[in-house]
């Protein structure tokens, strides 16, 4: 399940896949042995047909199934073998079950460097009496590292020290702007990492919100800077050290050359200033907003930033069970079931919630989302042995944890026309039911769901928690955006979410199997219905008015996380939301909002801080290569 958490949903049981596994090993044994590329796990074949799948996918050998990794490939091998066992076929026109897609898997420095030149006639005010510095020119390579979001390029210029480089938006009623008295247009800015060290806790908490380096880069760019140099000050944690290149899935840069420099480089630059770097930092560390940065007039800097964005290939695993009866004129002759099978690997993607003691360990992802993958395989196995009046598309997505990348790639290429899907059923975290409560999300996407769910639940007996909202942080959002009636099943979050402790022994297989039977019954009802469920666009619930307590800015935009567009590419807009009301639509690229230029999704997130609820903001966007303008009025949402 992608980053954000959800409400509540759960899963079931299947004798058919159990029989196939037994026939492959021994009909005599009460235990079966499941081989997953060298891994053997004992499974009680008499009680569950999802347990084997979860144990296989959440095994040590698969190492957390990070998209694009060897573990993902091994998981795909297992899934393909199970699909082949039940007689599923590659999609029409496809030779393989695997459908590849490319994504950005990380970044590394490709040879960044910096040259610092001190002018010979520079006065060194730190000597007593002041003397003229002899000047020097030095190039540093090991003491510089590009930041993961930097643009590639070369920049020359004079230098301005902008303190911590923090700007708190006016909307926060907290006056702090590192650039208030500075002119940085066409200059290179030097900023300190982190935030003022000696501030009181309340001030530190406020400043920390705006101390992210991407936010600092955006603030520098908005004010015309050509480049940003980040130095970890001598009074800060990790003093003088370079900033690590973090995992960053954004294909686009920040619109600015941005590098981390060591304390040695910082010291060299400050030879042209009238105080040391430590003295300058100490003056700022009280967080007094009137302590300003300054121009370092005697120094020129040349920066070469080189970021290599590592591309990897992930694979969706997609198959289908052909209808057993002539489709003829059946409207929308496909119904789809799907779940993401990728997880976090060893937590290197940056979205782990593991503590320090668990850093770097395998994140097994038994509930998130081996449970959903097992449910899909078990539903498919159940349906494989029954008559079918529609084709059943069986999809296991990758890249969900990185931003729904896999399902979006499928929707973009459309191996099956999405307007031919009668419905899509999604399973994400369905293995740890509590108090018999099963959340069914996206029920507002069709008026048919109420009756279908009620009928199917007569036998299942769940305490259903129905949620109309389809705008969930999981693959169901992709299909809602394509106007496909959808449901998403979920059994709730727990303390092991996105941690190595999400292991197969904690799954409630009896209830997981019940979810399978429940979902299979729903698919059968869709198959037997002559008319496909009618799609209904759900308007997101909003509240108007001002005030910030307990609410957040809501614009109704749905970003595309896997684009290299310069700006924010919209993969959709939320029904009835401010973006739709402003005339924005799928495919638009927002390049400016409320005077803030937008280079990527991170800029957009930070730009939301300058918006105010109920106050119109100018939005500039690109559509079909043409620059357009509209006005968006943000709403508030709890």
Instruction: List all residues 6 or more positions away from 444 whose beta carbon is below 8 Å from its beta carbon.
Output: 468, 469, 470, 536, 538
d(CA 140, CA 111): 11
Domains in the chain, please, with CATH? 15-104+312-528 (3.40.630.10), 111-305 (3.50.30.30), 552-637 (2.30.42.10)
pLDDT digits (tens, 9 = 90+) for 60-75: 999 999 999 999 999 9
State yes or no: cis peptide before 295, omega within 30 of 0.
no
Q: Residue 558's closest CA among 408, 410, 424?
A: 408
- Between CA 411 and CA 463 the distance in angstroms is 33
**pLDDT at residue 252 in the model:** 58
- How high is the pLDDT of residue 559? 82
Q: Can you give the pTM of this predicted structure?
A: 0.72
- Reduce the DSSP state of residue 364 to 3 states and report it: coil
Write out residues in the chain with pLDDT < 70, as ranges: 2-46, 121-135, 247-253, 540-552, 561-564, 637-638
DSSP conformational letter for 576: T
The H-assigned helical ranges of 172-300 are 201-208, 213-222, 263-269, 277-284
Q: How many residues are given for the chain? A: 638
How far apart CA 175 and CA 173 sit, in angstroms, is 6
For 463-495, the three-class secondary structure string (H helix, E strand, C coil) is: EEEEECCCCCCCCHHHHHHCCCCEEEEECCCCC
The 3-state secondary structure of 206-224 reads HHHCCCCHHHHHHHHHHCC
H or E element in which residue 320 lies: strand 307-321
Residue among 161, 205, 154, 203 nearest 184 (CA)? 161
The predicted pLDDT at position 279 comes to 96
- H/E stretch holding 43: strand 39-44
pLDDT value of residue 44 = 47
d(CA 609, CA 95): 48
Maximal CA-CA distance, the chain: 97
Residue 548: predicted pLDDT: 29
What are the CA-CA distances from residue 230 to residues 157, 195, 542, 590 (Å)? 16, 12, 40, 28
């Amino acid at each position: 399940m992608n980053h954000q958490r959800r409400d509540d949903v759960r899963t079931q049981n299947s004798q058919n896949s159990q029989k196939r596994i037994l026939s492959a090993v021994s009909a005599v044994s009460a235990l079966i042995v499941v081989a997953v590329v060298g891994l053997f796990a004992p499974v009680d074949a008499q009680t569950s047909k999802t347990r084997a799948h979860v144990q296989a996918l959440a095994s040590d050998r698969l190492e957390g199934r990070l998209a694009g990794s060897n573990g993902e490939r091994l998981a795909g091998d297992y899934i393909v073998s199970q699909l082949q066992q039940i007689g599923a076929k590659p999609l029409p026109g496809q030779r393989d079950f695997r459908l590849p897609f490319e994504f950005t898997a990380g970044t590394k420095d490709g040879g960044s460097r910096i040259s610092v030149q001190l002018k010979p006639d520079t006065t060194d005010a730190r000597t007593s009496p002041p003397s003229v510095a002899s000047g020097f020119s030095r190039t540093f390579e090991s003491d510089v590292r590009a930041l993961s979001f930097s643009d590639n390029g070369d920049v020359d210029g004079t230098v301005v020290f902008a303190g911590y480089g923090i700007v708190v938006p006016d909307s926060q009623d907290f006056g702090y702007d590192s650039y208030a008295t500075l002119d940085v247009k066409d200059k290179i800015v030097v900023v300190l990492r982190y935030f003022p060290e000696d501030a009181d806790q309340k001030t530190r908490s406020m400043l920390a919100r705006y101390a992210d380096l991407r936010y600092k880069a955006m603030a520098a760019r908005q004010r015309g800077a050509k480049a940003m140099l980040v130095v970890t000050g001598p009074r800060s944690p990790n003093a003088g050290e370079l900033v690590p290149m973090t995992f960053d899935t954004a294909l686009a840069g920040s619109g600015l050359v941005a590098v981390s420099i060591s304390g040695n480089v910082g010291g060299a630059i400050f030879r042209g200033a009238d105080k040391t770097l430590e003295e300058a930092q100490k003056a700022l560390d009280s967080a007094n907003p009137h302590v300003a940065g300054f121009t370092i007039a005697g120094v020129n800097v040349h920066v070469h930033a080189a970021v290599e964005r590592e591309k990897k290939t992930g694979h969706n695993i997609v198959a289908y069970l052909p209808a057993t009866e002539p489709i003829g004129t059946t409207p929308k002759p496909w119904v789809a079931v799907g779940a993401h099978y990728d997880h976090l690997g060893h937590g290197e993607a940056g979205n782990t919630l593991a503590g320090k003691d668990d850093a770097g360990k395998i994140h097994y992802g038994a509930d998130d989302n081996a449970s959903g993958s097992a449910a899909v395989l078990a539903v498919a196995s159940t349906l494989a042995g029954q008559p079918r009046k529609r084709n059943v598309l069986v999809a296991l997505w990758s890249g969900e944890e990185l931003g729904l990348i896999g399902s979006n790639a499928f929707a973009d290429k459309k191996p099956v026309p999405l307007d031919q899907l009668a419905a899509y059923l999604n399973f994400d975290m369905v293995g740890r039911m509590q108090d018999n409560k099963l959340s069914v999300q996206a029920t507002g996407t069709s008026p048919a769901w109420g009756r279908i769910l009620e009928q199917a639940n007569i036998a299942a007996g769940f305490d259903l928690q129905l949620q109309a909202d389809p705008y969930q942080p999981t693959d169901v959002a992709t299909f809602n955006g394509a106007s496909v009636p959808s449901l998403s099943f979920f059994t709730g979050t727990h303390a092991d979410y996105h941690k190595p402790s999400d292991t197969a022994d904690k799954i409630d297989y009896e209830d997981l199997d019940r979810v399978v039977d429940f979902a299979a019954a729903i698919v059968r009802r869709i198959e037997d219905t002559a008319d496909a469920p009618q799609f209904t666009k759900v308007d997101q619930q909003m509240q108007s008015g001002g005030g910030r307590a307990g609410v957040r800015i809501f614009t109704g935009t749905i970003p595309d996380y896997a684009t290299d567009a310069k700006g924010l590419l919209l993969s959709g807009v939320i029904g009835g939301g401010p973006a739709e009301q402003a005339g924005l639509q799928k495919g638009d690229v927002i390049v400016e909002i409320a005077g803030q230029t937008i280079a990527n999704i991170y800029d957009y997130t930070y730009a939301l801080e300058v918006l105010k609820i109920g106050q119109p903001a100018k939005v500039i966007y690109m559509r079909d290569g043409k620059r357009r303008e509209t006005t968006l009025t943000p709403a508030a949402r709890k």
